[in-house]
Structure 1
Amino acid sequence: MTVETTMGASSAQRGTEAAERRKPTPPPFPAFHAPGQAEVVSENSLVHRELSYAIAVGFRRLSMDLWLPRRVAERPVPLVVWIHGGAFQLGDRRELPPTFGPDSVFRLLNQAGIACATVDYRHSLEAPFPAQLHDIKAAVRYLRHHADVLGLDPARIGAWGESAGGHLAALLGLTGHRADLEGGLGVQGHPSSVSAVVDFYGVSSLNDMPPMTAANDFMGPALLAAVPEGVSVHPETMLVGGSKDPRVLDAASPRSYVTPDAATFLLVHGDSDGLVPLSQSELLAGLLQESGVEHQLVTIEGADHCFFFAEDQMDRILALSVDFFRQHFRLP
């Protein structure tokens, strides 16, 4: 009896194990979505809209639009990641500053034979730094992962941003070798480095930013009015979760990451910027110089933030930036 009981239990166990093996395995939680079909938007551009490059639990889906050039001699094509501004509190991947022509950045890059990914990222009240950098890095990894199907050259990727986006573009160009800053979102196993950066009036040192007031810049009142009651009015403090610790602010500042391994930089800044002083770009240019990094600082005379009051120079400014990428990527 003892032997029969033991044998019977063993047979039942084997049956359970076989049933478990037959049970279908549920798919893993999606970390990102594959690209769909592009739509034709002009004679120069195809656009993949709403590409979900990372899915972060507890947050909105992180998306990008990818503008691909139609008229190119050969593929794969180089790529520039466009990062919008908005004091880390506002902004959208589809919106350019009012001084820029509609879709001008995306269109001009496509006309030059360069793809453009315009990327959303979490704002400072959604998540503190380094979430924003993690998001942008996840976007670059996504684009490298899907480079073959999208016709992109993973070896030729740059970044271009304005204001808060300039800050993030600079960080992207300075931290490609920092595994500790990659984050765990989206695609893994690809580098997030870029080889060229255009930084429009970005912050280089959060500890050296003047307080935002209604008086120091004509854009100040609108930004101050948009900040919820009880929340810091200073974008640099909001970025780091309200901390005023100089060490925390330095950890979110591009100045802290300059090394000889940095990307090539073009810094463009107005000499009358009342929101982000020209000294911020001068500081970063000096550190790049000390590290032997190829760079150029272009000062726009009479320009405030977003190049307000220098609108007549916008065509030149944008052409200068596109030419910087064209030369870096060795395009005709």
Structure 2
Amino acid sequence: MDVRDLRPPVEDGPWPPATHHPPLDHPPPEGARTWTGLTYAMVDGYRPMVLDLHVPLAALRPPVVLWVHGGGWREGDRRLVPLQWGQQRLFQRLVDAGLAVATVDYRLLAESSLPGPVHDVVAAVRYLRRYADELGVDASRLALWGESAGAHLAAVVALAAGQAHPDQWLLGSTGVGHGPAGVTALVGWYGVYDLTLLPSLVAMLWPDTPAYEREELARRLSPVRMVAPDSPPMLLLHGEADTLVPVDQSVRLHEAARAAGARSELEVSPGSEHVFAGEPVEPRWERTVDFLAQHLR
């Protein structure tokens, strides 16, 4: 089955729990050189951490967009976007805009609690920077784009790495192990940015941790507390009708950025649920690609 034909299991109503996918063929985006399964980190006792990279053939050393998938920190796949959107279309849109796109797998919660997944995204950034010449990209112009849980991870990495004195506990030393992890721009779609306001989520993220320790972990992993005047410019998109992640999460990060003197743009879609269900996603793609092109070029 061509991955581009993959659709939601039902049109309406709750989806049954996913237990597998059918055999899927993943043709690369047209007009791109594709690197599949690059091992950006090897962590003892875990599966290799891998990413895919699609580099537009028509561009000379293009900038890079690192896509961080969602899935509640518990599931997800670097090769797939939310099923409602149709597969490969988003990655093709970035390639058509002359932007290389890297898609990253990271450790999920059954494998590692936070900040382990943060360390993985940092490692992916450092890997792309280390091997930019071999890969034919300009990783000094690199943006992070995450959706849902991926937006949280992207924001933590972008904001923590950009601080004058980065928190090494947050960044870790996975993979390449050292080197710059700062990015040029950040895009967050319906993400969680202040964990301290979501105690039930915090309990899910660290179920075996004492309550007082969970509170400290939630504080240290909340992007709203990491914004600085020189934080990378950010674009935040959220559906006002989102019942999974309150729109207030994006509002708070936007207000924190503006209060700190950082650049932030916030767009709220009145009729959208999570993953922009209820409204077409394509206008959000176009808005985001325009933002990325502006800041990466």
**Counterpart residue number, 1:291:** 260
Partner residue in 2 for 1:119: 104
Is 1:63 aligned to 2:50, yes or no?
Answer: yes
Could you tell me which runs of 5 or more consecutive residues in structure 1 were left unpaired when the two chains were aligned. 1-38, 212-233
Report the TM-score, using the length of structure 1 for normalisation: 0.76
Work out the CA distance in 2 between the residues paired with 1:42 and 1:204: 32
Within the candidate set 97, 115, 118, 1:133 is matched to 118
Q: Deviation at 1:40? A: 8.1
Report if aligned partners of 2:74, 2:109 keep a CA contact under 8 Å in 1: yes
Q: Is the contact between residue 143 and residue 296 of structure 2 (CA under 8 Å) also seen in structure 1?
A: no
Relative distance call for 1:195 and 1:153 in structure 2 (3 A) is same
In 2, the alpha carbon distance for the partners of 1:42 and 1:85 equals 21
CA distance in 1, matches of 2:138, 2:73: 30
Residue in structure 1 matched with residue 217 of structure 2 by the alignment: 248
1:238 corresponds to which letter in structure 2? Answer: M
What is the distance in 2 between the residues matched to 1:92 and 1:114?
21
- Selected match of 1:190 from 179, 188, 201: 179
Tell whether 2:30 aligns with 1:43: yes
How far has the Cα of 1:260 moved from its partner?
Answer: 1.5
Aligned to 1:323, which of 285, 290, 297? 290
Q: Give identity over the alignment, percent.
A: 38
* Structure 2 contact 65–143 (Cα < 8 Å) conserved: yes
Question: Could you give the per-residue CA deviations for residues 87-106 of structure 1, whole angstroms, max 9, x where no partner exists?
Answer: 00011111101232211221
**Whole-Å Cα distance in 1 between the matches of residues 29 and 75 of structure 2?**
28
Could you tell me which of 220, 224, 244 is aligned with 1:275? 244
What TM-score does the superposition give when structure 2 sets the normalisation length? Answer: 0.85
The counterpart of 1:96, out of the listed 78, 81, 84, is 81
Deviations 1:137-185 (A, max 9, x none): 0001000110001111121000001000000111121011315132121
Q: Partner letter of residue 305 of structure 1?
A: H
Name the residue aligned to 2:272.
303
The structure-2 alpha-carbon separation of the partners of 1:299 and 1:242, relative to structure 1 and needing over 3 Å to count, comes to farther
Partner amino acid for 2:159? L
2:12 maps to what in 1? Answer: none
> Aligned partners of 1:56 and 1:189: how far apart in 2?
15
Between the aligned partners of 2:134 and 2:203, the Cα distance in structure 1 is: 41
Partner of 1:11: none
* Separation (CA, whole Å) in 2 of partners of 1:256 and 1:279: 15
Amino acid at match of 1:167: H
Q: What runs of 5+ residues in structure 2 fail to find an aligned partner?
A: 1-25
Distance 1:207 1:242, change over 3 A: farther
Matches within 5 A, 1:139-288: 139-176=124-161, 177=163, 178=166, 180=168, 181-209=170-198, 211=200, 234=201, 236-240=202-206, 242-243=208-209, 244=211, 245-288=214-257
Name the amino acid aligned to 2:289.
V
Moved more, 40-49 or 249-258: 40-49
Bigger-Rg structure (1/2)? 1
Say whether the 8 Å CA contact 2:29–2:91 is kept in structure 1. no
Change in 2 beyond 3 A, CA 1:293/1:280: same
Question: What letter corresponds to residue 323 of structure 1 in structure 2?
Answer: D
SS at match of 1:192: coil
Does residue 91 of structure 2 align to residue 106 of structure 1? yes
- Please tell me whether the aligned partners of residues 29 and 88 of structure 2 are also in contact (alpha carbons under 8 angstroms): no
Count residues with an aligned counterpart. 265
Structure-1 separation of matches of 2:47 and 2:87: 26
Cα distance in 2, alignment partners of residues 111 and 146 from structure 1: 23
Matched AA of 2:206: V
- The alpha-carbon deviation at position 42 of structure 1 amounts to 4.5
2-structure distance, mates of 1:152, 1:101: 27
3-state DSSP class of the match of 1:152?
A: coil
Q: Shift of the alpha carbon at 1:241?
A: 5.0
Q: Over aligned residue pairs, what C-alpha RMSD do you find?
A: 1.7
